[in-house]
Chains A and B, each alone.
Chain A
Amino acid sequence: MPSWSKYSVTSENIGIYEEIFENVQIIDCHTHIGLDKDGHRMTADKLVKMMDRDKIDKAIVFPLNDPRNDKDFNVPNDEILLAAKVYSDRFIPFFRLNPNYKWSDEFALRVSQGFKGVKLHPRSQDFKLASPKAMKLYKECQKHNLVILVHAGFGLEEIADDLVKIFKTYPKLRMIVGHAGFPDLDNVIKKVAKLDNVIFDTSTCKIFDIFELMKRVDYQKISYGSDIPYYAMDVALEGVIDTAITLGKSANQIRKILGGNIAKWFP
């Protein structure tokens, strides 16, 4: 159990932390490895050390916006492959693509290597969520049963309608909405939360947004994420747990949010 959890939010909840951390599998569904144009970096070894410190069992890992290779992401995707081989019991590997460039060869290569999903960043790679180029990629992901994780945080504005269009076109596509779509949270909750095959990750959300998300969305569609190295794994974890406790979620429901919900997608 992390050191911060020894304190309860209110006296009524004393003991719930012990219950939550009893037999829990925590999966961080939003972490990066590699190098970013803005100077941020993270290695697989360092990430695993942080996971050990914060009692995180597994993490979905994918590249940052790598300056060495931002067209097909071949080099950073290779780094993820290597990390996933070294830490096969800790990492769930996703590869990153840029829909604006020819991606079919890189896609085929990574599918054959056993990657579990694709990370897309509409702001960094400068494309619209439901643009024709991106839609082609979603089609392939649905076909190969790959999970898509889209950045839906800073730098985006109205995204709910685009998400609806994607899910209407590809109803079997499984998608993790990165950062829970906080710039357009109200509309995203109204229009997307009831759709099948969608999970909201809580990374870098303000506590108020996590509160709103947990209040209005089925807990089975919410999953813990940190966005390491931009945010802090422990604070992200604490934020999710304390907000859930404040809203009266049970220990079992909180365990699902911490890992159970996303684990279903990666048996």
Chain B
Amino acid sequence: MVPINKDISINLNKLMDFILPKQEKYVNAKIIFYIRLYTGVMRAEDNLNAKNYGRVTNLCKVVRNIAKNSAFKEEETYLKRIRDIASEVINWTKKIEKKRKKHDLSDAYAVLTKLQLAQNLCILRILKRSEK
């Protein structure tokens, strides 16, 4: 493979900065970040519907970690809510698995509602994309 010339790389970055201003790149990165979170929550919801509680736990842990390690400090209020929802769902699935209790539908629907709340938080943050 031919190594990329350092000058070309620098010029390419300058060109990118010209085409996509820094602020725009930051906003785009934030949108991608929220889409990533949203996808994780959606997958957790699908697995909850399929009663794959182990997968729900894993996916919520991934969501919680992404939200915890975010570079977007201004988003902390919203990310904390998403982390709290993920923790709540993890605790619920643990309880279900530990007690091997019969699948209580009303409980599951309450958890689904929480996951829907997390999804809506992500979408609303994307809609507020112009926020600095």
Tell me if chain B binds chain A.
yes
Chain B residues with CB under 8 Å of A155's CB are 105, 109
A9 within 8 A of partner (CB):
yes
B130 within 8 A of partner (CB):
yes
User: Do B120 and A7 touch (CB < 8 A)?
Assistant: no
Chain A residues with CB under 8 Å of B116's CB are 204, 206, 231
Complex CA distance for A154 and B49, rounded to whole angstroms = 11
- Selected from A11, A36, A153, A239, the residue in CB contact (under 8 A) with B120 is A239
B104 within 8 A of partner (CB):
yes
B127 within 8 A of partner (CB):
yes
B39 within 8 A of partner (CB):
no
Q: Scan B103-116; emit 1 where CB is below 8 A from any A CB, else 0.
A: 01111011011101
Chain A residues with CB under 8 Å of B81's CB are 232
A145 within 8 A of partner (CB):
no
User: Do B117 and A38 touch (CB < 8 A)?
Assistant: no
User: Do A235 and B124 touch (CB < 8 A)?
Assistant: yes
User: Do B128 and A38 touch (CB < 8 A)?
Assistant: no
A104 within 8 A of partner (CB):
no
Complex CA distance for A101 and B21, rounded to whole angstroms = 66
B residues in contact (CB < 8 Å) with A:
81, 104-107, 109-110, 112-114, 116-117, 119-121, 123-124, 127-128, 130-131
User: Do A238 and B124 touch (CB < 8 A)?
Assistant: yes
Given contacts A155-B105, A235-B120, A242-B124, contact A38 B130 (CB under 8 A): no
User: Do B127 and A206 touch (CB < 8 A)?
Assistant: no
- Selected from B105, B112, B124, the residue in CB contact (under 8 A) with A207 is B124
- Selected from A8, A38, A208, A246, the residue in CB contact (under 8 A) with B104 is A38
- A29-58, CB < 8 A from B: 36-38, 40
Query: Max chain A CB contacts within 10 Å: which of B81, B120, B121, B124?
Result: B120
Given contacts A10-B130, A227-B113, contact A38 B106 (CB under 8 A): yes
Given contacts A7-B128, A38-B110, contact A235 B117 (CB under 8 A): yes
